[in-house]
Structure 1
Amino acid sequence: MLEQIHHEGPHLTPGQQWHLRYLDAWQMAFQGDYSKANASLQEVIDHSGDMTLVAKASSLLMSNLGLNRRYEEAFTLANRLALDLPEIRDRLARFTVLANLSQLSAFSGQYDLAISYARMMEDTIPPGETLCNPLSMQVNALHEGNRLTSSSPEVQRVIDTCLAAGQPVFADTMWLLKGNLYLDEGQPGKALDLLHKIIPGINENHYYSHVLAAQVELAQANAKLGNDSDAKKAALSALAMSSSDDISTWLKDVYEVLYQIEKRQGNAAIALSYYEHYVAQDKGYLNDASARAMAYQVVQQHLLTQKLETDALGKQNNILRLQRALDTKAVETSRLYIVLLLVTLTSIVFWLFRLKRSQLRYKKLSNHDGLTGIFNHQHFVGEAGRALHLLEKKLDQACLISLDLDHFKQVNDVHGHAMGDAVLKRTVAICQQQLRPIDLFGRLGGEEFGILLLDCSREQGMAIAERIRSAIGATEVDRNGTVVSFSASFGLACTDTSGYVLQRLYMEADAALYRAKHAGRNRVMTDAGSNSLSSALPLTL
């Protein structure tokens, strides 16, 4: 249809040409070309002059920004659209804005808000639309909030509604969601049967996200059923259609499947390579989730700041009117108004002080891991890079320790995530007892930590790492009567052989860590691979 309209391009009015540009941008986004789509949408917003079209384009741009991890821009645009909702009279435009607001709210973890927007859509259904879209948004929010099972009637209701409305893309979304629930519930056979049923339709619709998701679920289902060949084929197909710099749960799942397959088949080197990709995706996803939450809080903080500034300006205008009135009043009345002025100014200063304190608190939260209180991955990398640069000028030595808890997934699986959190906190406490105030300590993701020992020789670094390893191995965590022992593997790299570039130090330390893991865990190994300290006993739970 778009091709036919483009043939009529010279005969279109300016308004029709802007609408065509919006439709082209919509198709670019559908096919995954967000960069070109966003540029066209911004032109429509800035130059079309059609308020209804601007609302639609802004809504789609907001969704694209969220998908491309430009979260602060997306949430800022979402707040503006939410404020403009009462002014959007066109039912289709309002319906579109509400749909994308619901989707972005679920993406940012605001599930109840997402459901509210979806229910507002039910009251704004334009001609030609059905309950398919609003119900899909509600089920998506419930799923993101872990409130559904594969047998939940809401899922089948949406599928039936969307199929009856001739909306195959929305129906496929729900089918894929149901397949994901089957996998989560340990029913890979049902998931595989469902995928074989829906994949032809998904391939026919060419929706990039669905094609990728279907291959990922296909790989997971086959892997769980022991169909390694089919699982590997589907996983490699998913990788082929993804960009090398993408960070997503899909790619994390793909690399995990490939790692498990190669490990089962005894291909240690290939398995290790896939495991490294899996770890990178897992870390990237955790950082991305943290970035989403932080961007949402920053935007809310900006809104609060603007509100306070507006209130302050309003109060200042009142003060000016009071000052003019003071000229005509007696001295006693003047003193009364001066007191009122001081109270008002004190109130403003108090609120500004509270705002500044809140901003400082959010800044600290953005630099520290929420569970353990130590540096998060991004802040640790930044501080470590700066410290190494200064050490290089003074020609002082430093050592980087990469440590990873052994069999930590087993702790979570057997004893629950609350016990896992307790183990992580105890590990951090043990490390901090052995470290100096000048040392840098950060959580790199999951159960992996990094320590940069400043002004430290290789021998001193090995001794510190061994003390930490020994202390961890001798520690037990007792929670609600359940006692868990645990251990950790260590990799150490020093500037005397690896230089002062953090990336190389980390690669050497990480390589040493992997050697420690493969050598039996619960030991310290250096970047040279020649020195190691180990425990004689395996981890017991």
Structure 2
Amino acid sequence: MFLFLHFKSRFKVIIVNLLFSTILITFPSSGNELKNVEQQLKAANSLRSSDPKKFNSILNKLIKVKSLSNKQKNDLDYLLAYQVAYSGNFKEAIPLFEKIINSNANIDLKFRANSSIINISAISQDWRQGFVHLNKAIQMMPKVKNSLIKQDSLIITSFFYYGLGQYTLGYKYAQQVKENTKNKRNLCAANYLMIKAKFYLKTLQKNDLEIQDSIELCKMVKEQIYVHDILFYLANLHLNNNDVLLAITLLKNNIGHLEKTKFTPLIAQYNSLLAKAYFLNKEFSKAKQYANTSLLKTEGIGNTAEIILAYSLLYKIALHNNDHQQALTHYIKYAEADKAHLEGEKAKHLAFQLAEHKELEQKNQIALLNKKNSLLTAEQALIKANAENNRFIMIILIMTLSVLILWGVRLLRAHKRIKELAEYDALTGIYNRGHFTQVANNAITYCQSAEQSLSLIMFDLDHFKNINDSYGHACGDWALKKVAEVCKKIGRQNDIFARLGGEEFCILLTSCDSKAAQLRAEACRQAIAEIITTDSGFEFSLTASFGVTEAKISGFELEQLLADADSATYTSKHAGRNKVSLFQPKTTIEQTAALDNSQNIF
């Protein structure tokens, strides 16, 4: 009578296909051994469900690798736990997964181990344990960043609710995976779960296109367990439509391939369904053969639907053969299995109701806390209002202060900019004539009162007009900036350096006599003459004519100092340019000339 596959063996599929997504394990850097181990781990991971024999062989080699780090050990333990779970030894597998959860493994590995226990709990019908770990999964999920691992958890949750008979709820989780995954393996699992839900909700038709599409997808990703499970549902649909021969043909054509997977629960289901099909086709000997095979395959699994169906068929076959003693034996076993099955159904429904009750209780507690919070909020409203008012006042004050600071900063910047424009030459960055006059007069007054020497150098670039006319004003501007740059490097920090206008420059030297000033002027002259002009885009000669005077000669008046230095500059130009000349007063020149004439008399 029972046509559908019992949830218990179904949940083992998830252990094969979903829980153990790609595991990246880093092994010690040891040359060829490292490379070989990494290759074996990668191969074992890819073959975990498609070729269990090779998987087991590779793991047997990996456990012999020594000197593994804690992380590597945890990852290998996880694969070994998978191996135990796949073999059907769930009692031994659970402690192995618990050990990983309580270890120092990374959150992804702990999450997978926890998901494995959820699935095993469904298989072993320990629903309370399953809900405990389901809550753990909900708590751990925000910390898990890998989207594929999260999708695996949704698939496991779907399987878990299927075990409780909550197919509508499980269908929603599977649908979430299908809508959000691009991973073909997970898409195969989601399609399979949705087909399973439709089958039990009696909305699946044998001609539905999604059946064949899902089979092709799962074949492509080599998930043979899912493929054979979907075919199992299709065979059930054939039996429901009284297409017994179609069901037999479908099961017979695929049971050989299924047996290669060595996945015992599903093999038992195929045998039990074949037994039923042959019974309906009145081939009682074959029905008995497959029923007994199904019982052999389910040893140690528990009271599954396959056992109930097999004993039911054997009972009916014994009656048909008038073997009443055997019929009684089979009926007793059938009744015991059916009773245990019903108790299991009651247990899982009770567990689900308890979970719902607990959830409702939590919601009520939350509602009560919300009411208390509302009262506290009302009591604190006045305090909060006062705090908000104070906060508003503080914000206004801060904003006002911020505006004043911003305005002050802008004013300071504007003042600084205006000062720069007023004091400095925009092209060369040295003092302009106006600011030079002010600073120079202050320096002259100080040197005069302190009876310190003071000198002034003036220089003019030679043939600068030709440079502008021949190479353009941009080139001329480059020359002016370069001259200011090289001369500034030579000077002292307290020297007063200015551009008086055009190509004319001036340097006021405090605490400096004419000899030192001449040396300084000569250094500047050489630096200018050595300027390489290729950076301007043109090659040309750049020189300057210098005039030098000092306060002892010209006095402590700026205008007179400038006039005398300018006169000395013209002396340099008349002498052939690119020279340094010291200002000579007319009286000194006349005396020198008279002395020369008197010497000529003799």
**One fold, TM greater than 0.5?**
yes
Which amino acid is the alignment partner of residue 262 of structure 1?
A: A
| 1:196 counterpart residue number | 252
Summarize deviations over 1:129-170 as a string: whole Å, max 9, x none.
352111111111111222213333222221121112222111
Q: Does the alignment pair 1:264 with 2:320?
A: yes
| 2:222 counterpart residue number | 166
How many Å separate the matches in 1 of 2:182 and 2:216? 20
- 1:237 CA displacement: 1.6
| 1:510 counterpart residue number | none
Q: Does the alignment pair 1:231 with 2:297?
A: no
Superposition pairs of residues 353-368 of structure 1, within 5 angstroms? none
- 1:63 CA displacement: 0.9
How many Å separate the matches in 2 of 1:280 and 1:49? 44
| 1:134 counterpart residue number | 190
| 1:291 counterpart residue number | 347
Q: CA, structure 1 residues 245+320, in 2 after alignment: closer, same or farther (shift >3 Å)?
A: same
Q: CA, structure 1 residues 133+324, in 2 after alignment: closer, same or farther (shift >3 Å)?
A: closer
Which amino acid is the alignment partner of residue 274 of structure 2?
A: L
Q: CA, structure 1 residues 148+321, in 2 after alignment: closer, same or farther (shift >3 Å)?
A: closer
Pick one of 270, 288, 296 that aligns with 1:240.
296
Q: Does the alignment pair 1:100 with 2:145?
A: no
- 1:231 CA displacement: 1.5
How many Å separate the matches in 1 of 2:243 and 2:183? 40
Q: Does the alignment pair 1:113 with 2:164?
A: no
CA contact (8 A) 2:184 2:221 kept: no
How many Å separate the matches in 1 of 2:241 and 2:139? 40
Q: Does the alignment pair 1:24 with 2:71?
A: no
Q: Normalization by structure 2: what TM-score?
A: 0.51
Q: CA, structure 1 residues 217+160, in 2 after alignment: closer, same or farther (shift >3 Å)?
A: same
How many Å separate the matches in 2 of 1:80 and 1:187? 46
Superposition pairs of residues 335-414 of structure 1, within 5 angstroms? none
Q: CA, structure 1 residues 65+204, in 2 after alignment: closer, same or farther (shift >3 Å)?
A: same
- 1:221 CA displacement: 1.5
CA contact (8 A) 2:265 2:297 kept: no
Q: Does the alignment pair 1:71 with 2:127?
A: yes
Q: CA, structure 1 residues 151+324, in 2 after alignment: closer, same or farther (shift >3 Å)?
A: closer
How many Å separate the matches in 2 of 1:71 and 1:181? 30
How many Å separate the matches in 2 of 1:91 and 1:293? 31
How many Å separate the matches in 1 of 2:240 and 2:311? 17
Q: CA, structure 1 residues 235+263, in 2 after alignment: closer, same or farther (shift >3 Å)?
A: same
Give structure 2 stretches of 5+ with no counterpart. Answer: 1-43, 45-57, 384-602
Summarize deviations over 1:455-477 as a string: whole Å, max 9, x none.
xxxxxxxxxxxxxxxxxxxxxxx
Pick one of 215, 219, 223 that aligns with 2:275.
219
Summarize deviations over 1:25-72 as a string: whole Å, max 9, x none.
222222211111111111111214311111111111101101101012
Which amino acid is the alignment partner of residue 91 of structure 1?
A: S
CA contact (8 A) 1:222 1:231 kept: yes
The sequence identity of aligned pairs, in percent, is 22
Which amino acid is the alignment partner of residue 294 of structure 1?
A: L
CA contact (8 A) 1:220 1:231 kept: yes
- 1:254 CA displacement: 0.3
- 1:311 CA displacement: 4.9
Summarize deviations over 1:243-295 as a string: whole Å, max 9, x none.
36822211110011101111111101111221122222222222222221111
| 2:234 counterpart residue number | 178
Q: Normalization by structure 1: what TM-score?
A: 0.56
Q: Does the alignment pair 1:208 with 2:208?
A: no
How many Å separate the matches in 1 of 2:132 and 2:287? 41
| 2:511 counterpart residue number | none
Q: CA, structure 1 residues 321+235, in 2 after alignment: closer, same or farther (shift >3 Å)?
A: same
Aligned partner of residue 190 in structure 2, secondary structure: helix
CA contact (8 A) 1:130 1:165 kept: no
| 2:206 counterpart residue number | 150
How many Å separate the matches in 2 of 1:176 and 1:27? 25
| Structure possessing the higher radius of gyration over alpha carbons | 2
Pick one of 83, 87, 107 that aligns with 1:51.
107
How many Å separate the matches in 2 of 1:148 and 1:128? 23
- 1:171 CA displacement: 0.6
Q: CA, structure 1 residues 238+289, in 2 after alignment: closer, same or farther (shift >3 Å)?
A: same
| 1:277 counterpart residue number | 333
How many Å separate the matches in 1 of 2:263 and 2:300? 20
Aligned partner of residue 66 in structure 2, secondary structure: helix
Tell me how large the CA RMSD over aligned residues is.
Answer: 2.8
Greater relative contact order (CA < 8 Å, ≥ 6 in sequence): 2
How many Å separate the matches in 1 of 2:171 and 2:381? 51
How many Å separate the matches in 1 of 2:192 and 2:337? 28
Give structure 1 stretches of 5+ with no counterpart. Answer: 328-541
Aligned partner of residue 131 in structure 1, secondary structure: helix
